Amino acid sequence: MNQTATENTRITPVIPPRFDWTQAEIAALFEQPFNDLLFRAQQVHREHFDPNEVQVSTLLSIKTGGCPEDCGYCPQSIHHEAPVQVEKLMDVEVVVEAARAAKQAGASRFCMGAAWRNPRGRNFERVLEMVERVGAEGLETCMTLGMLDAEQTRRLKDAGLDYYNHNLDTSPEFYGEIISTRTYEDRLETLRHVRDAGMHVCCGGIVGMGEARSDRVSLLEQLACQQPHPESVPVNMLVRVEGTPLAEQDELDPFEFVRTLAVARILMPQSHVRLSAGREQMSDELQALCFLAGANSIFYGEKLLTTPNPEADHDRQLFERLGLRPA
């Protein structure tokens, strides 16, 4: 699964991952001087990964808007007035075409997202077909469709789904400030089904929603105490979308975002940490710091689900300037 760092970058001994991190320990990591934290994160990163390789996924919104959930950050919720065009579930052929184009552009994983509380009926059957067809194109597959039950996870696994993305979003303590239509426990239950079905877990959260550092600590504790750790940990910087309740949220100190990535890297040394939403609003220099902190995965392509992402061309240049290789 994880590549071992190349000979000249490997640092020994490798400390095995832990699943019993306490909030006090995690808070202490956050509190270190920035340089000490980044140095430690880079050390851990080099123990487990080639530090110049970044996994590249492409994201496609296969069903957009009109979502009954009330997630305060999300432009796709019917509870908010965000300027999003509602689109029903795409045809399989359209998705396969997009997957081919993503592969051509260098993506290794194709992630499909649907604005649902949970998938149902004929739509779910179509989603299974998408998984099979995209997998047959030679891409890893990932989906995020909302809550799933045990049977649905089994069927997705049988169709060949490699990863399921389901985020915890924030700490259990802050969660109620952001979402009221589903509980933290609902999310944990879906994650258990995904794990039990034998799929890889992609699970992370959003920072910059007005939470305290203690909430970021608590979110990371939730993630790092899962055994095994989620294979992929997306850390999203809130994209403040007009019409959502969080549109006017103060910007998080970018160094605090980098710290969050660095702590995630230290806590979950074998996981891919994804520098996820929010890159469009970041400078190249800030993104370089994120990679230094141990982020080793991004979304590639001009659009996330409904909001812009950097142009593919710009990312190619950034990789070149930093000597990074897409993987």
Binding positions for ligand DTB, rule: CB under 6 A: 59, 75, 113, 144, 165, 167, 204, 234, 236, 239, 276-277, 304-307
User: What are 272's two structure tokens?
Assistant: 């891919």
Active-site residue flag, 274: yes
Q: How many residues bind ligand SAM (CB under 6 A)?
A: 19
Element (H, E) at 155: helix 150-159
Q: What is the Cα gyration radius of the chain?
A: 19
**Contacting ligand SF4 (CB under 6 A), which of 59, 71, 168, 261?**
71
Footprint on residues 34-63 left by ligand SF4 (CB under 6 A): none
Determine if 67 is a binding residue for ligand SF4 (CB under 6 A).
yes
Among 111, 265, 279, 290, the active-site one is: 111
Is 251 buried (19+), middle (13-18) or exposed (0-12) by CB count in 10 A?
exposed
Determine if 239 is a binding residue for ligand SAM (CB under 6 A).
yes
Partner in contact with 112, chosen from ligand DTB, ligand SAM, ligand SF4, none, beta carbon below 5 to 8 Å by kind: none
Cβ neighbors of 292 (< 8 A, separation 6 or more) are 38, 41, 42
Q: How far is the CB of 83 from ligand SF4 (least distance, A)?
A: 15
User: What are 265's two structure tokens?
Assistant: 């890297």
Determine if 169 is a binding residue for ligand SAM (CB under 6 A).
yes
- Give, rounded to a whole angstrom, the gap between the first and last alpha carbons of the chain: 13
Among 109, 182, 187, 202, the active-site one is: 202
Among 46, 142, 182, 259, the active-site one is: 142
> Rounded distance, CA 75 to CA 143, Å?
19
Helix or strand or coil: residue 32? Answer: coil
* Among 207, 253, 232, 240, CA closest to 308: 240
User: What are 1's two structure tokens?
Assistant: 């699964």
> Rounded distance, CA 196 to CA 234, Å?
21
Q: How far is the CB of 292 from ligand SAM (least distance, A)?
A: 22
> Rounded distance, CA 194 to CA 164, Å?
7
Determine if 76 is a binding residue for ligand SF4 (CB under 6 A).
yes
> Rounded distance, CA 181 to CA 135, Å?
33
- Nearer residue to ligand DTB within complex by CB, 5 or 56: 56
User: What are 45's two structure tokens?
Assistant: 């990163």
Judged by CB under 6 A, the stretch of 37-45, 70-78, 154-162, 212-220 that binds ligand SF4 is 70-78
Determine if 241 is a binding residue for ligand SF4 (CB under 6 A).
no
Among 71, 195, 265, 290, the active-site one is: 71
Applying CB under 6 A, the residues found at the interface with ligand SF4 are: 67, 69, 71, 74, 76-77, 115, 146
Which residues are annotated as catalytic? 67, 71, 74, 111, 142, 202, 274
Applying CB under 6 A, the residues found at the interface with ligand SAM are: 67, 73-74, 76, 113, 115-116, 144, 146, 166-167, 169, 206, 236, 238-239, 241, 277, 305
